[in-house]
């Protein structure tokens, strides 16, 4: 087997993080009541499968980030040889792709890593439910990417819609309604701030007796 590359080492670390996220998600499901246990188990299985499929894609993208074309080729070979790619068809395709370019590693393209494509940190409370809201069509353009990124990290994105609400500020904020959600709201706000490129996205508590723990509103402004 070729000598292990720094990119491959980063992939191993990412794999460990993904496994930790899956375990946390499955574990969180079991804190629900017994009546919801079967649904929680099925949801956890589905989430784990989605995570594995996404991670197969992420592994390949990570392999293509290296500056050295020979390292990119070597890492693709390692992905196949070590069976980190669990999908047999995908693994066979990667193996053939790397083999066909064995004598021309420069033909393996480089993918630039982007912080804006990284998912948020895993949820720190159970049953996080996010509502994406915006006051204009222009602000709603971030719905799709934010929904995808939050979902990939096992947040439940319940809805994304444009609303006309004059009680809300012109600028973005994250609303939470229960004290135990304060830290989670701050984590979500920090991520949204980075993704949409604004100076500050505050996390603010509002009073609403009907809002259950874990309910967050991400307001993207007008």
Q: How is 116-184 classified by DSSP, letter by letter?
A: GGSPPPPPSSSS-EEEEEESSTTGGGGHHHHHHHHHHTT-EEEEEEE---TTS-SS-EEEE-SGGGHHH
Q: What is the DSSP letter of 110?
A: P
Q: Is the pLDDT of residue 71 over 50?
A: yes
Q: Are residues 100 and 54 in the same domain?
A: yes
Cβ–Cβ < 8 Å for 24, 122: yes
Q: Is residue 204 a part of any domain in this protein?
A: yes
Q: Are residues 131 and 66 in the same domain?
A: no
Domain tally, the chain: 2
Q: Is residue 180 a part of any domain in this protein?
A: yes
- Binned at pLDDT 50, 70 and 90, residue 3 comes out as very low
Angle between helices 182-196 and 143-152 (to 10 degrees): 130
**Token pair belonging to 186:** 């701050």
Q: Which residue's entry shows tokens 């949801």?
A: 43
Q: Is residue 157 a part of any domain in this protein?
A: yes
- Which of 77 and 56 is assigned the larger pLDDT? 77
Q: Are residues 128 and 161 in the same domain?
A: yes
Which stretch of 28-42, 79-93, 179-193, 206-220 has the lowest confidence by average pLDDT?
Answer: 28-42
Q: Is residue 112 a part of any domain in this protein?
A: no
**Which pLDDT belongs to residue 27?**
46
Q: Are residues 24 and 64 in the same domain?
A: yes
Q: Is residue 124 a part of any domain in this protein?
A: yes
Q: Are residues 148 and 208 in the same domain?
A: yes
Q: Are residues 12 and 98 in the same domain?
A: yes
Q: Which residues contact 92 (CB under 8 A, 6 or more apart)?
A: none
Question: What is the rounded CA–CA span in Å between residue 206 and residue 44?
Answer: 31
Q: Is residue 177 a part of any domain in this protein?
A: yes
- Binned at pLDDT 50, 70 and 90, residue 93 comes out as confident
Last residue of a domain, one of 51, 86, 107: 107
Q: Give the predicted TM-score (pTM) of the model.
A: 0.52
Q: Is residue 96 a part of any domain in this protein?
A: yes
User: From start to end of the chain, where are the E strands?
Assistant: 129-134, 156-162, 173-176, 203-205, 215-219
- Binned at pLDDT 50, 70 and 90, residue 82 comes out as confident
Q: Is the pLDDT of residue 28 over 50?
A: no
Q: pLDDT tens, 178-209?
A: 999 999 999 999 999 998 888 899 999 999 99
Last residue of a domain, one of 65, 81, 107: 107
Q: Are residues 128 and 204 in the same domain?
A: yes
Q: Are residues 162 and 80 in the same domain?
A: no
Length of the chain: 222
**Which pLDDT belongs to residue 178?**
97
Q: pLDDT tens, 131-153?
A: 999 999 889 988 988 998 898 88
Range of the domain at 158: 119-219
Q: Are residues 140 and 89 in the same domain?
A: no
Q: Which residues contact 185 (CB under 8 A, 6 or more apart)?
A: 174, 175, 176, 203, 205, 216
Q: Is residue 209 a part of any domain in this protein?
A: yes
The domain spanning residue 134 has which CATH number?
3.30.70
Cβ–Cβ < 8 Å for 164, 158: no
Q: Are residues 92 and 155 in the same domain?
A: no
**Which pLDDT belongs to residue 174?**
98
Q: Are residues 38 and 82 in the same domain?
A: yes
Burial 114-144 (b: 16+ CB within 10 A, else e): eeeeebbebbebeebbbbbbbbeeebbebbe
Last residue of a domain, one of 107, 138, 168: 107
Q: Are residues 214 and 132 in the same domain?
A: yes
């Amino acid at each position: 087997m070729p000598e292990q590359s720094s990119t491959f080492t980063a992939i191993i670390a990412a794999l460990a993080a993904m496994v930790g996220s899956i375990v946390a998600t499955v574990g969180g499901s079991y804190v629900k009541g017994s009546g919801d246990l079967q649904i929680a188990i099925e949801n956890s299985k589905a989430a784990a499968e989605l995570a594995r499929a996404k991670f197969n894609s992420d592994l390949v993208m990570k392999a293509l980030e290296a500056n050295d074309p020979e390292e990119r080729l070597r890492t693709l070979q390692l992905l196949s040889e070590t069976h980190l790619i669990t999908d047999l068809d995908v693994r066979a395709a990667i193996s053939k792709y790397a083999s066909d370019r064995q004598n021309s590693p420069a033909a393996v393209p480089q993918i630039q890593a982007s912080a804006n494509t990284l998912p948020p940190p895993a949820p720190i409370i159970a049953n996080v439910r996010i509502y994406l809201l915006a006051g204009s069509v222009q602000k709603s353009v971030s719905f799709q990417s934010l929904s995808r990124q939050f979902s990939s990290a096992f947040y439940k994105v319940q809805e994304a819609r444009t609303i006309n609400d004059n009680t809300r500020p012109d600028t973005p904020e994250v609303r939470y309604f229960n004290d135990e959600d304060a830290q989670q709201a701050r984590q979500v706000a920090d991520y949204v701030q980075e993704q949409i490129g604004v100076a500050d996205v505050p996390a603010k508590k509002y009073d609403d007796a009907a809002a259950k723990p874990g309910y967050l509103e991400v307001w993207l402004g007008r």
